[in-house]
Structure 1
């Protein structure tokens, strides 16, 4: 899977998302401008020692991302509080791109209008503006992985002190 962050602002969120991407074998795409420097301690602290294992690419702008990932246009899901579809109602194909907007504003409506069938939302109460970005990524990414039978992922654990 591919996680796309459009202009993320908070290094801790991006670090946590990076760790989630490493844990799931997903690629992380960061679209500038970023609200931090990629080498900031806060990013690496949140990603802990996994940051060096992260498959991450940084793009100058949204157009640069599209030019370098032409297949994304047909496999793009837009996670937004404005989405008409619940994130569990769509089918995520292998290699899907799931985009999330910046923490303060989300994905711009000029981008959303081109994706009415794949604009998705996480249900929540009306009084809540949105979930934390890192939490939102984890919720939607794991649904996409579940729909693909968690291919290539370890499905069982092994206790140290006893056998299952």
Structure 2
């Protein structure tokens, strides 16, 4: 199991979350979901996207941001936020084994107070001019880079 983790802040789309859980199960990466989610975690779309990998996924649900922060700080983990509002490319960042890679809601990202909690803020450059990437794709790119760096 990889030592870094992926966290989803109040995800909106069950299919994206299912895809992320499937990818994380295959790569051995734990996932934290900061609730409330915009869907029921037993949603049919979540199960369809995650297929039979959901049982393999190392998933921790946090009832809210405060409980997530209590856990993260007690565990000594750095919070690395991915945001379109950052100027630092994720490929120019040195990931650590205790990092939590945080991704915001598909519809709205994360609120300003969550930005304030982050130890680092990173972006995936989009030289083609797009506004944002699909959440599952962005998580896969970030996880791949963290795994490449950490071996």
TM-score, scaled relative to structure 2 = 0.91
Contact between 1:27 and 1:56, CA under 8 Å: does it hold in 2?
A: yes
* Separation in structure 1 between the aligned mates of residue 148 and residue 59 of structure 2, nearest angstrom: 23
Aligned pairs, number: 148
* Separation in structure 1 between the aligned mates of residue 117 and residue 72 of structure 2, nearest angstrom: 17
| Displacement after TM superposition at 1:78 (Å) | 0.2
* Separation in structure 1 between the aligned mates of residue 127 and residue 88 of structure 2, nearest angstrom: 16
1:146 aligns with 2:135: no
Partner of 1:18: 21
Partner of 1:65: 68
Coordinate RMSD, CA, aligned? 1.6
Partner of 1:30: 33
Larger Rg: 1
Within 5 Å, give how 1:124-143 maps onto structure 2.
124-125=126-127, 127-143=129-145
Partner of 1:39: 42
* Separation in structure 2 between the aligned mates of residue 140 and residue 101 of structure 1, nearest angstrom: 13
Q: Which moved more, 1:71-80 or 1:90-99?
A: 71-80
TM superposition outliers: structure 1 runs of 4+ over 3 Å: 71-74
Summarize deviations over 1:62-108 as a string: whole Å, max 9, x none.
Answer: 11101122256651100000012100111111131000000011121
* Separation in structure 1 between the aligned mates of residue 37 and residue 107 of structure 2, nearest angstrom: 13
| Displacement after TM superposition at 1:127 (Å) | 4.0
* Separation in structure 2 between the aligned mates of residue 114 and residue 96 of structure 1, nearest angstrom: 13
* Separation in structure 2 between the aligned mates of residue 3 and residue 58 of structure 1, nearest angstrom: 12
- Structure 1 gap ranges (5+): 150-164
Contact between 1:66 and 1:73, CA under 8 Å: does it hold in 2?
A: no
